[in-house]
Amino acid sequence: MSLAKIQFFGRMEGYSLEALRKDIISGIIVGVVAIPLALAFAIASGVKPEYGIYTSIIAGALVGIFGGSRVQIAGPTGAFVPVLLSIVMLYGFENLLLAGLLSGIMLIFMGITRMGTLIKFIPRPVTVGFTAGIAVIIFTGQIDTFLGLQGVVKHEYFLQNISELARYIHTTQLPSIVVAMVCLSFLLITQRYFPSIPGPLVGLLASTLVASLFFNGAVDTIGSKFGAIPAALPEFQMPRLKLDAVINMMGPAFTIAMLGSIESLLSCMVADEMIGSKHDSNKELIGQGIANVITPLFGGIAATGAIARTATNIRSGGTSPVSAVVHSLTVLFLILALAPMVSKIPLASMAPILMLVAWNMSGLHEIKHLLRTTKSDAAVLFATFLLTVFLNLTIAVGFGLLLAVALFINRMSDTMSVQKVLPDHSANEKVTSDVVTPIHDCPQIGIFTINGALFFGAVETFEKTLTNCLAAKPKVLILRMGNVFVMDATAQVALEHIVDHFQKQKGTILISGLKAQPEKVLRNSGLFDKIGQSHFFGGTGLAISYALTKINYYKCMGCTHNAFYECSKLSNKRVS
């Protein structure tokens, strides 16, 4: 059986005629919803509108068949708009197709090597930050179309585009504003009062009618700007795979692959919550990769899982990949049948659709939530957001990840503590740091409780505290490591330095409560054997009992510290 059959039918267990009926209905509904979005995203990405349609048809079906979610709907999305527009402006449309194909290969590789689970570990502030940044770019990028500005030229950077808007604001066209406001009104009304009705479709129909009746020829349309939408299937076109072009497009392709993987897996997670199921992250990446390899061969642009369309599919009753295939067939049928009508859609009608998409993807509620959590999360969010808006997505995500990691390491190092402790005689000999004072401390036995992850970010505190202890030259050092669940190589080397130094002083080092992962590190490095197997104990009490056999009893005579229960006897004991 082929891979496609395994992938497809593996998610069709228990399928029934009733489920087929639901899938057909939901597929048709999502197909109708997808058309205006596909047109809008393609235009905003700097390519002909039909390429967005081709993407919905081809990628939608392929992700449904090969992907890892039963209900995922794929196609062009708002998240890709600034990335694709930048590639088109810098490298041209043909290289955009090449970048899409290369990104597909990368996604397949990521799925095969099971990197799908790793992508889930991208910090939420980074995801929210770049998504909000993309939303700002999309929203501001539609202002010129909404106002009908003339002569505006798109640029790569945000500030250049804002300057361009200010330069041509005097060319505002009232008919464009009216048409855009009509579409926006229907979008808002349907979203609030009639959520089951596809608002973008209703908005396009109403605003197109207003433009035709009252402003015929005064408002740019898809046809006047890009030519008539072809009522035909897309033609196969193989991108030219020149070595220099492939090398030049590796960076943009990587950006597309990373963004596509994040977006598709986020969509899958939303779908999982809605249907109470579990997707396969690696299969989803493979499905997305196959779609992005094949779609550019027919002029399609980069595709990924579309959260809004996937949610619409679920709410409409979609239960299996059949709904995704029906969605693709619906888009194909409608564009073949209605291509002449689509060409009459005003460009001003597309602007409010994309502006509303941008508003919905901005995640204002989640931004407010993250700002109330920690300062470090807020810093990561703002840094990623600002870099996305003012520079580009690749730099923003890279810097956001590095900042998140650095702040996390700092936070983790702050949670690690090394405390000197002694048994509390008033609390059943429970060890605590509260009873350690200059007049109540054992000169010969040092007991330290280590809490938290013992890793490179916390080594300085760990090493400094124990080195200060060694300066007093105790006979025995007990390390209580029951609260250390993780140790890395840097911490192991630091501990080995302490062990070497202490053993040169003829001291005895004991460790109690050692957990599995730190023990494995110590055994693999040989430090476990250097310390000695007999010097590891399950509990602190056993370690103290052993330590008392290694001290110098002469020094106990006359000692008034009374650090241990046995001290009263040892201080009065005569040593022969």
**Do 457 and 356 belong to one domain?**
no
Question: What's at 417, amino acid-wise?
Answer: S
pLDDT at residue 237, rounded to an integer: 83
**Do 544 and 465 belong to one domain?**
yes
Pull the structure tokens for residue 157.
């950077």
Extended strands (E) in 434-564: 445-451, 476-483, 508-512, 536-537
Q: What is the C-alpha separation between 258 and 166, in angstroms, rounded?
A: 34
What is the phi-psi region of residue 179: left when phi exceeds 0, alpha when psi lies from -120 to 50, beta otherwise? Answer: alpha
pLDDT at residue 574, rounded to an integer: 52
Name the 3-class secondary structure at 280.
coil
Please give the backbone phi and psi of residue 440, each rounded to the nearest 5 degrees, phi first: -135, 80
Residue 28, domain member (yes or no): no
Q: Are 259 and 83 in contact (CB under 8 A)?
A: yes
Enclosing H/E stretch for 450: strand 445-451
Q: What is the C-alpha separation between 180 and 186, in angstroms, rounded?
A: 10
Beta-carbon count within 10 A of 373 CB: 12
Q: What is the C-alpha separation between 97 and 240, in angstroms, rounded?
A: 10
Q: What is the C-alpha separation between 431 and 435, in angstroms, rounded?
A: 9
Pull the structure tokens for residue 193.
């009062």
**Confidence band of 440 (pLDDT split at 50, 70, 90):** confident
Residue 82, domain member (yes or no): yes
Q: Any idea which residue has 């939901």 for tokens?
A: 26
Residue 375, domain member (yes or no): no
Bridge-based pairing state of the strands 74-75 and 304-305: antiparallel
Q: Which domain holds residue 339?
A: 34-363
Q: Are 154 and 86 in contact (CB under 8 A)?
A: no
Residue 100, domain member (yes or no): yes
> Residue 171 carries which DSSP code?
G
Pull the structure tokens for residue 45.
């990405």
| Closest to 256 in 3D by CA, of 51, 100, 363, 63 | 100
Q: Are 462 and 491 in contact (CB under 8 A)?
A: yes
**Do 114 and 222 belong to one domain?**
yes
Name the 3-class secondary structure at 42.
helix
**Confidence band of 39 (pLDDT split at 50, 70, 90):** very high
Greater pLDDT, 327 or 473: 327
DSSP H helices, 229-346, are 243-248, 250-275, 281-294, 307-315, 321-342
Q: What is the C-alpha separation between 407 and 560, in angstroms, rounded?
A: 46
**Do 113 and 243 belong to one domain?**
yes
pLDDT tens digit sequence for 189-199: 998 898 888 88
**Do 357 and 439 belong to one domain?**
no
Please give the backbone phi and psi of residue 306, each rounded to the nearest 5 degrees, phi first: -105, 110
> Residue 576 pLDDT > 50, yes or no?
no
**Do 346 and 461 belong to one domain?**
no
**Do 239 and 348 belong to one domain?**
yes
Residue 408, domain member (yes or no): no
Q: If you average pLDDT over residues 300-322, what whole number do you get? A: 91
Q: What is the C-alpha separation between 253 and 251, in angstroms, rounded?
A: 5
Domain boundary residue, one of 363, 395, 410: 363
| pTM value > 0.75 | yes
pLDDT at residue 427, rounded to an integer: 67
Pull the structure tokens for residue 484.
């250390």
pLDDT tens digit sequence for 262-295: 889 888 988 898 888 888 999 999 999 999 999 9
pLDDT at residue 12, rounded to an integer: 65
Enclosing H/E stretch for 461: helix 459-470
**Do 242 and 328 belong to one domain?**
yes
Q: Tell me the CATH number at 549.
A: 3.30.750.24
Residue 397, domain member (yes or no): no
pLDDT at residue 553, rounded to an integer: 81
**Do 345 and 445 belong to one domain?**
no
Domain boundary residue, one of 323, 347, 363: 363
> Residue 64 pLDDT > 90, yes or no?
yes
Bridge-based pairing state of the strands 417-420 and 422-424: unpaired
Q: If you average pLDDT over residues 314-319, what whole number do you get? A: 89
Q: DSSP 3-state helix, strand, coil percentages of the chain (rounded to 5)? A: 65, 5, 25
Residue 58, domain member (yes or no): yes
Tally of domains in the chain: 2
Residue 383 to residues 86, 131, 158, 371, 408, Cα–Cα distance (Å):
21, 12, 16, 13, 15
**Do 178 and 300 belong to one domain?**
yes
Beta-carbon count within 10 A of 22 CB: 18
- Listing DSSP states for 323-368 in one string gives HHHHHHHHHHHHHHHHHHHHTT-BHHHHHHHHHHHHHHHT-HHHHH
Domain boundary residue, one of 344, 363, 382: 363
**Do 352 and 498 belong to one domain?**
no
**Confidence band of 1 (pLDDT split at 50, 70, 90):** very low
pLDDT at residue 572, rounded to an integer: 67
Cα 471 to chain centroid, rounded: 47
> Residue 43 pLDDT > 90, yes or no?
yes
Residue 557, domain member (yes or no): yes
Q: Mean pLDDT in the chain?
A: 89
pLDDT tens digit sequence for 230-254: 888 888 888 778 889 999 999 999 9
pLDDT tens digit sequence for 119-166: 777 888 998 998 899 999 999 999 999 999 998 888 888 999 999 999
> Residue 429 pLDDT > 80, yes or no?
no
Strand 445-451's sheet: what is its strand order? 417-420, 445-451, 476-483, 508-512, 536-537
To the nearest 10°, the Cα dihedral for 218, 221, 226, 227? -90
pLDDT at residue 260, rounded to an integer: 92
Q: If you average pLDDT over residues 70-89, what whole number do you get? A: 92
Helices (H) and strands (E) in the chain, counts: 28, 9
Length of the chain in residues, anyone? 576
pLDDT tens digit sequence for 89-120: 999 999 999 999 999 999 999 999 998 877 77
**Do 84 and 190 belong to one domain?**
yes
| Closest to 306 in 3D by CA, of 318, 294, 288 | 288
pLDDT tens digit sequence for 378-414: 999 999 999 999 988 888 888 998 998 888 888 888 8
